[in-house]
Amino acid sequence: MSDTTELRDAVADVLRGRCSPAVLEDAERDGGAPTVWAALADGGFTTVSVPEPAGGSGGSVAQACAVLEAVGAAAAPVPVAETGLLAGRLLARAGLGLPDGPLSTAPSPGLVLDDGVLVGSVDRVPWGRSAASALVVDGGTVVLVEPGTGVVTPGRNLAGEPRDHVDLTGVRPAAVAPVDPIAVDELARRGALSRAALIAGAARAVLELTLRYTGDREQFGRPVARFPAVAAHLVQIAEQTELAAMAVGAAAAGAGDEGEPDPLAVAAAASVAADVAGAVATAAHQATGAMGMTREFGLGVLTRRLWSWRDEWGGGRSWAAELGHALAAGGADTFWPTISRGLVR
């Protein structure tokens, strides 16, 4: 068993029983699940991939993605991706230590720093109402904004997770530090990879849920899973789930122990995961029929996240275009070696 598999299983054990339907309902209403967050934070799982000197738990991008697969499978309504792989690594890159509590971040192209004061707003900030935000301004400066600072207009995605509009005009950041301008592109790629990892985890949970339901439910004296039409959906879900896991694994492993994921691999993983999200959700709802649409059955919680996450940090279409442009730019001689290099280089 690999270290990433062990880590994913460890996080799954922590989350088992903590993301009940009641907890998820409360999180959609209240904007978070403090007990779920506390359990993950106590274990150091929220800051995996952030260097220890910066206040993180250490570890690689691959290990952070393993954590996110478990978080996605449990539909845990907490900003683990934002705190560790995204904002945490961004702060560390700028030489800033991690503050206590959850972190967030989002693309902030319209935000500027004028004489030490922020001007502008940021849209769709995950958990922006309750988490400190690490944001890039002017293309080369990282600012840390304390939770609840500025004018917050609550919003949410299809899954009910907070995605807030935050007007920071007039706010003085709690910390400011310069950062290499390439950090903006790195953050965008880690954002896309984080969503791909969450999707891979949620897709696996959808597969297990659908297999269990269609195996238990009988019609005409046999489990509905044995009907060819249903079986075809199950096969498609299984194939797509493995496809997403392989794409995420290849992109994450390419980062090595301390590096950043390869741009081409991230574009491939994000593009594949977005397609997988749609295909898995469609097939699962077809296989479970009307039951899959009820709030009492867990499928909807997962598929609403699949539909939400595939559109964040660029979305599948933009990453597919990025992938196509990169492959075309490499020319005919590099095309086959590039697409066939596999999980381990």
User: DSSP letters along 59-119, please?
Assistant: --HHHHHHHHHHHHHHT--S-HHIIIIIHHHHHHHTTPPPPSS-EE----TT-EEETTEEE
Residue 345: per-residue pLDDT? 40
- Top-level class of domain 182-341: mainly alpha
Do 3-179 and 182-341 show the same overall fold? Answer: no
User: Measured in whole angstroms, how far is the alpha carbon of residue 95 from the centre of its chain?
Assistant: 24
**Torsion sign, CA atoms 8, 11, 17, 20:** negative
Average pLDDT of the chain is 94
In the chain, where are the structural domains located? 3-179, 182-341
Cα–Cα nearest to 161, from 188, 196, 125: 125
Residue 265 sits at φ, ψ, to 5 deg, of -65, -40
Cα–Cα nearest to 318, from 243, 266, 277, 241: 266
Fold for 3-179, please state it. Answer: Butyryl-Coa Dehydrogenase, subunit A; domain 1 (1.10.540)
Give the model confidence (pLDDT) of 146-171 as tens digits.
Answer: 998 999 999 999 999 999 999 999 99
The pTM of the full predicted model, rounded to 2 decimals, is 0.95
User: Counting Cβ atoms within 10 Å, is residue 176 exposed (0-12), middle (13-18) or buried (19+)?
Assistant: middle
**CB 270, CB 316: distance < 8 Å:** yes
Cα–Cα nearest to 11, from 47, 42, 40, 49: 40
C-alpha angle 260/9/5, rounded to 5°?
Answer: 45
- Calculate mean pLDDT across residues 40-62: 97
pLDDT band at 337 (very low <50, low <70, confident <90, very high): confident
| Interatomic CA distance for residues 108 and 12, integer angstroms | 33
- Calculate mean pLDDT across residues 10-33: 95
